[in-house]
């Protein structure tokens, strides 16, 4: 089971590298999303060869170029919690059919209006005295919130989650890096506008539903209005 789980994690990391390379080119120094994806893959011990092949496939510079597309599914979990599911797939018909089966435990429907579609940058800095509000202003982010740093190598760092317009994600990411922030995530995100109240028993059922979605090989991100 552990090997299967590691394989799924690696697969998702590789697909994120491929899509980032496709959207922004094969050079991490000019592609903030790709740089973050590569850094995350390295932390999960993905080999250099695997990373390089993923970049080549995604950017179309290798012999086995892959055509992944992003598809979004939306609806409700059990107990009517809105959820948006972002998939990366090379076979939209297959993915659509399988995601619809998973949604039978909830229901499909239009819910994107219940979320703000934004750019999101997660980062940490060695200087714990920094004011994250000031850092956000200087990087021209729209908003910021504190974030716990889980990386043991960054113990003692200050963490923050910066929100941007969808068109300024790359610029804000580069500005934060220039200011000494270590970026761990740079991507588009869906942020819930409101969070429905649920009981502990309902939360357990909702969590199981979300885990089933996240466990699908083609699912890249799951955004739910669940605190």
Q: Where in the chain is the domain with CATH 3.30.70.980?
A: 69-114+193-224, 115-191
d(CA 54, CA 57): 5
Fold of 2-59: Arc Repressor Mutant, subunit A (1.10.10)
Number of other residues whose CB lies within 10 A of the CB of residue 140? 13
Average pLDDT, the chain: 91
pLDDT band at 2 (very low <50, low <70, confident <90, very high): low
* Confidence (pLDDT) at 154: 79
pLDDT digits (tens, 9 = 90+) for 125-152: 999 999 999 999 999 999 999 999 887 7
Rounded to 5 degrees, what angle do the CA atoms 143, 130, 165 make?
20
**pLDDT > 90 in the chain, percent:** 67
* Confidence (pLDDT) at 4: 67
pTM, two decimal places: 0.82
CATH number for domain 69-114+193-224, candidates 3.40.350.10, 3.30.70.980, 3.30.1600.10, 3.20.20.60:
3.30.70.980
Q: Secondary structure of the chain: what % helix, strand, coil (to 5)?
A: 45, 25, 30
Average pLDDT over residues 116-124: 96
Q: Where in the chain is the domain with CATH 1.10.10.200?
A: 2-59
* Confidence (pLDDT) at 107: 96
Better-scored residue on pLDDT, 154 or 198? 198
d(CA 48, CA 39): 11
Cα–Cα nearest to 24, from 36, 13, 40: 36
pLDDT band at 109 (very low <50, low <70, confident <90, very high): very high
pLDDT digits (tens, 9 = 90+) for 146-173: 999 887 777 889 999 999 999 999 899 9
d(CA 198, CA 227): 9
Q: Which CATH superfamily is domain 115-191 in?
A: YebC, transcriptional regulation domain (3.30.70.980)
* Confidence (pLDDT) at 1: 47
Structure token digits, residue 179: 């200011």
d(CA 121, CA 189): 9
Torsion, Cα of 174, 175, 177, 181 (10° steps)? -140
d(CA 202, CA 205): 5
**pLDDT > 70 in the chain, percent:** 97
Structure token digits, residue 55: 């970049």
Indicate if the pLDDT at residue 60 is higher than 70. yes
Chain centroid offset of residue 145 CA: 17
């Amino acid at each position: 089971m552990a090997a299967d789980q590691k394989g799924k994690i690696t697969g998702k990391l590789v697909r994120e590298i491929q899509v980032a390379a496709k959207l922004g080119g094969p050079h991490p120094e000019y592609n903030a999303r790709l740089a973050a994806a590569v850094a995350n893959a390295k932390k999960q011990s993905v080999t250099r060869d695997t990373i390089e092949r993923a970049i080549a496939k995604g950017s179309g510079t290798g012999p086995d170029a892959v055509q992944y597309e992003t598809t979004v599914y939306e609806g409700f979990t059990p107990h009517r919690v809105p959820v948006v599911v972002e998939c990366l797939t090379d076979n939209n018909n297959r993915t659509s059919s399988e995601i619809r089966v998973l949604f039978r435990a909830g229901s499909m429907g239009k819910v994107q209006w219940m979320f703000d579609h934004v750019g999101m940058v997660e980062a940490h800095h060695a200087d714990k005295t920094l004011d994250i509000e000031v850092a956000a202003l200087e990087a021209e982010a729209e908003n910021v919130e504190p974030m716990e740093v889980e990386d043991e190598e960054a113990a003692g760092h200050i963490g923050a989650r910066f929100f941007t317009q969808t068109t300024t994600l790359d610029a804000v990411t580069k500005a934060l890096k220039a200011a000494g922030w270590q970026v761990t995530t740079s991507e588009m995100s869906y942020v819930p506008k409101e969070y429905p109240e649920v009981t502990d028993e309902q939360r357990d059922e909702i969590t199981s539903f979300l885990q089933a979605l996240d466990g699908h090989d083609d699912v890249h991100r799951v955004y739910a209005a669940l605190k």
